[in-house]
Every structure is written in C-alpha cells, then in structure tokens.
Homo-oligomer: A and B are copies of this chain.
C-alpha cells in the first residue's frame, strides 16, 4: 500500500445508489416495489436487486417482502457516499464521492485524485485520519466514527492572488451548516477556525496548486468536531477545543451534516463564480468574532503585533489598525483577543 493512501471504503460516481436511497429516505419508512424502484432509477429490476444486495453488504439494513418490495430499516454507521448523496441538491459538488475507512488525510487523498485528473467537485470523506493536518504543519486529532473529515476539489478560473477568498467562502459554509443543524451560534476566528463558546470546533486547511498567473486546483479541507467526547481530545492543545455534541448536548447526524455542508458550499461557490465574493465577505465579517476588537497577532517571529481588527481586504488579509492609526494587512499568523 502506498504510504498515506489508506483503505478506500466505497466510492460513488454513478447515480443508481443515490436515486434508490433518495427514494427510500423520502418514503417515510414505507415499502417500495421493485417495479417503482426500477422506474425511479431507470434500471432493470435485476439491477435494483443487485444494488440493494450491495448496499446490504455495506451496512444498510433492508427488509424485503415478496409481495410488497423493499423497506429501508437503517443506515450504516459511516459516511456512505450514496447515503450522503441521497437527495443532495448540489450543482457542482459531489459528482464523485469517495469515502475512506482511514486515510492519511483527506487533503492528501484528494490531491492524489486531483493529479490523476479528478473533476471539479470531487469529494473525499474519511471515517478517520492517521495524519490529520492542521495549519502550519500542526496535527488535527481525527478519531474514527465521530467527526467529519472532508475535502473538496475545485478548479476555479482565478489567479493565485484571489485563492484566499475561497477560504472565507468555506468558513462561511461551515458556519451556516452549524447554524442550520444545531441550536448553536458559531463565531469565526480569522482566518479559518470556528469557535463555539470560545472553543474550537472546526478548522479548515485549504491548499492550492498554481502557475504564476492561474490556479490549477484548490483543495478545501474540513475538520469539524461533531460527536467527539472530552476524553477523545489530545492532552495538550494549543487552544481550547470542543465539539458540537459537547456544546449542544445533542448527537449530530453525521450524514445529514455532511450533505448540508456540501449543499451550502455548492451554493456559495456558485455565487462566488458569478462575482459574489463581496456578499460572501460581508457574511464572513458579520460572523467574525474579532472585527472591531483589539487583537494580538503572532506570526511565529519574536515580534507580536497589536491593534484593532477593522476588516478583511479583497485578498483575505486581516486589516489591523495600529495605535498610530496606520492600517496594516496581515496575511498570516495566530490571532487572539487582547485583555
């Protein structure tokens, strides 16, 4: 096995499983006849039967009664691509969905697919990561079965200078998804973390490949702590961390959360391609916890800078107003609230 490649659990690039599962999920637990399923998916009844047998092997529980057809009793406890894709309303994302039981990192896995020519909108999901990555080479704790580890491949027609705009887009998508799937109120920490009650619940790691004047690929990488419990966090953390379960007291439906995130991303990306970055930036600013607050920026050098965060610019830099009134553009670093 190639280092870091991991075990590919299941991939989806056809529509049959997706159409069948959408029907079952919309059926309210009722029986569906083989004939109806055959018509819905546009395949023979034999193919319907074969696909259902295949889904059974992957943990979907079906009841079948000769005179009535099939009924979906339960979904498998992992991010099965067809379960995620069932009923999903995206236009550009998720045409190909691949789930790994375990991989080095979803970003590394999708980068390999990108090199092999994978299409825009390809999505990689993983149940766990053994080399989960945070920004600046840091580790991202990635226990199995409880969280969301996902990467999305884009091939946007933009120049490298504009690529950080997609980071803001992806942060807004996660914030929207949290607001939609939980009663919690997400707060953005520049540039790409999401906090609930001051604890980090999501991080993004976006990576690009580019020529001097055009972007080839952008990988949006998501780590969202969904149902992680306190004892699953590493003992030593740079910043306080939490999960949506710990903050809300409610278990998160991982499949529904993933589907919703892809839908939000898809909508924002469509808007972005149609010139909508301005509106996305406004939304980012409205969700951001540091705007108009006094912050300290540490960029790894001995010097740290303080000032008031007054906005973000076209290229994603944080605008920091220093005490002498000058406004500086901050491109990299860790930001923390002062006092």
**Interface positions of A (Cβ within 8 A of B):** 135-136, 159-161, 163-164, 167, 191-192, 205-214, 216, 315-316, 331-333
Q: Which residues of B contact A207 (CB under 8 A)?
A: 209-211, 216
Q: Which residues of B contact A213 (CB under 8 A)?
A: 135, 164, 191, 331-333
Q: Which residues of B contact A212 (CB under 8 A)?
A: 135, 163-164, 167, 191-192, 206, 316
Rounded to whole Å, the gap between the CB of A188 and the closest CB of chain B is 14
Which of B208, B216, B315 contacts A161, CB < 8 Å?
B315
Q: Which residues of B contact A161 (CB under 8 A)?
A: 161, 315, 331
Q: Which residues of B contact A160 (CB under 8 A)?
A: 160, 163-164, 208, 210
Rounded to whole Å, the gap between the CB of A13 and the closest CB of chain B is 21
Rounded to whole Å, the gap between the CB of A277 and the closest CB of chain B is 15
Q: A164-B213, A213-B164 are in contact. Are A332 and B159 (CB under 8 A)?
A: yes
Judging by beta carbons under 8 Å apart, are B331 and A211 in contact? no
Q: Which residues of B contact A316 (CB under 8 A)?
A: 212
For A210, A216, A316, which residue has the most chain B Cβ atoms within 10 angstroms? A210
Q: Which residues of B contact A332 (CB under 8 A)?
A: 159, 213-214
A163 to B331 Cα, complex, angstroms: 13
Q: What are 10 contact pairs spanning A and B, CB under 8 A? A: A136-B214, A159-B332, A160-B210, A163-B212, A206-B211, A206-B212, A207-B210, A209-B209, A213-B333, A214-B332
Q: Which residues of B contact A216 (CB under 8 A)?
A: 207
Judging by beta carbons under 8 Å apart, are B210 and A208 in contact? yes
Judging by beta carbons under 8 Å apart, are B211 and A135 in contact? yes
Across the two chains, which residue of chain B brings its CB closest to A209? B209
A333 to B206 Cα, complex, angstroms: 26
For A164, A191, A205, A206, which residue has the most chain B Cβ atoms within 10 angstroms? A164
Q: Which residues of B contact A135 (CB under 8 A)?
A: 211-213
Q: A163-B210, A209-B209 are in contact. List 17 more A-B contacts (CB 8 A).
A: A135-B211, A136-B214, A159-B331, A159-B332, A160-B163, A160-B208, A163-B212, A164-B212, A164-B213, A191-B212, A192-B212, A205-B211, A206-B212, A208-B208, A210-B210, A213-B331, A214-B332
Rounded to whole Å, the gap between the CB of A301 and the closest CB of chain B is 11
A332 to B210 Cα, complex, angstroms: 13
Q: Which residues of B contact A191 (CB under 8 A)?
A: 212-213
Q: Which residues of B contact A315 (CB under 8 A)?
A: 161
A205 to B316 Cα, complex, angstroms: 26
Q: Which residues of B contact A136 (CB under 8 A)?
A: 211, 214
